[in-house]
Structure 1
Amino acid sequence: MTAMLTSRAVPPALAAGVLTALAVSGLRPHDRLTWLLETFWVIVGVPLLVAVWKRFPLSPLLCWLLAGHALVLIVGGHYTYAEVPLGHWLQDTLDLSRNPYDRIGHLTQGFVPAVLVRELLVRTSPLRGSAWLAPLTVCACLAFSAFFEMLEWWAALSGGDSADAFLATQGDQWDTQWDMACALVGAVASLLLLSRLHDRQLARLGRAADNAG
């Protein structure tokens, strides 16, 4: 019973933590437009999850991952990805040529959506246990990554120099390709590392839904 109560308390606690971080990040961000563009997915995503939760509760693993991803976006939105202090520390420590926080963000952009897509496919399609589940999950993550790069392109066309902070290319002409490669690595790593744990949690979620029904 304690474990069940703890499990039930996790999603509201995570949502409260994310919303608190979002509110704090909105206080004097480095660039207001960049903050809005980077945190858009959080601003839209949290109310959407709340709206569908009773009909479609998520696995605990996915809840934790989505909260972590939200914090990555929130921090990047507050400082802009090229100016995140953690990235500067990594740049100095590892003697890198650029702030790597943007790369971390795109790794996360593959790592977390892979579990989200996998959960949606397992629970809403005939792909549970199929050999096509992993490849289609990776393809969906790459498609989203490509769509995000097009969003950045449209932002650059409409915003001109004011969109530089959102793009975070830091002078790298291959930044788009690097971003998509990072998303690919993140998605593959996520499936390799988390699929078994995810399956166990989905099985428990299914049993809980059957008992509730």
Structure 2
Amino acid sequence: MQKHAIPLILSTIFVAMSLWAGISPNDRAVWYAETTPLFIVFLALVFTYKKFKFSNTAYILMSVWLLLHTIGAKYTFAAVPFEWGNEFLTPIFGEERNHFDRLAHFSIGFYAFAMSEWLLRKHKCTFGTALWFGLFFMMSVAGAYEIIEWLYAVIKGGNAGIEFLGSQGDIWDAQKDMLCDTLGAIFSLILYIFIRPDKQIR
């Protein structure tokens, strides 16, 4: 039971936060759109747990996006109470807006860690190839997700479409989001090089 403690605790936190986020969200249509990918990823991790258990570090990193995105689904990303973070990030990005979505996009990149771990523990490729694949995989996911956001905004229209897109008037929002995804992936892969769960778990 002890070796399953971290995934169990993280799962419990996510379920509890999902229930909280589902109670009177700021925009129900946005909540449905934002939580759908969360539940898909979470259930995929649950149902594949017996066949392949990632390292605790990987689960912690993957949970960051699940939790941050759940908060974004509750408030919509433009309306998340994030004043302290905005004070820190506004000088970096040079724009007055809610930067919570940038933080969430950065955390998406953490899944590069899990991808590289899976490849190496399954002996699918060499160490260097696993790192490059993890990076390019997340860059592809980032690009695909921006296209999905755009399509949803066009099809849905109205306030729900605008809030799901989350551009907040920035014409370069998609490019900046993809940059954050990529930087998050690079950060997690550097972390992977030092931790090397594929050598610790047999």
Report if TM-score (shorter chain) is over 0.5: yes
Letter in 2 for 1:147: A
Partner of 1:102: 101
Give the alignment partner of residue 143 of structure 2, picking from 143, 146, 151. 146
- Does 2:188 align with 1:190? yes
Q: 1:193 to 1:49 in 2, by over 3 A?
A: closer
Tell me how far apart the structure 1 counterparts of residues 45 and 194 of structure 2 sit (CA, whole Å): 24
Q: What is residue 65 of structure 2 aligned with on the other side?
A: 69
CA distance in 1, matches of 2:51, 2:113: 19
How many angstroms apart in 1 are the aligned matches of 2:89 and 2:144? 31
Deviation, structure 1 residue 91: 2.5
Does residue 1:177 correspond to 2:175, yes or no?
yes
- In structure 2, relative to structure 1, the CA distance for the partners of 1:93 and 1:176 (3 Å cut) is closer
Which whole-Å CA distance do the structure 1 matches of 2:126 and 2:185 have between them? 18
Q: Distance in 2 between the 1:45 and 1:195 partners?
A: 25
Please list, as runs of the form range in 1=range in 2, the aligned pairs for 1:31-110 lying within 5 A after superposition. Answer: 31-86=27-82, 88-92=83-87, 96-110=95-109
Relative distance call for 1:189 and 1:89 in structure 2 (3 A) is same
TM-score, scaled relative to structure 2: 0.90
Long gaps (5+) in structure 1: 207-213
Normalising by structure 1, report the TM-score.
0.86
Q: Which runs of 5+ in 2 are unaligned?
A: none
CA contact (8 A) 2:89 2:99 kept: no
Structure 2 counterpart of 1:202: 198
| Cα offsets for 1:152-197 (capped at 9, x unmatched) | 0110121112311111100000111111111111111211133221
Q: Percent identity?
A: 28
Cα 1:93–1:65, aligned 2, differ >3 Å: closer, same or farther?
closer
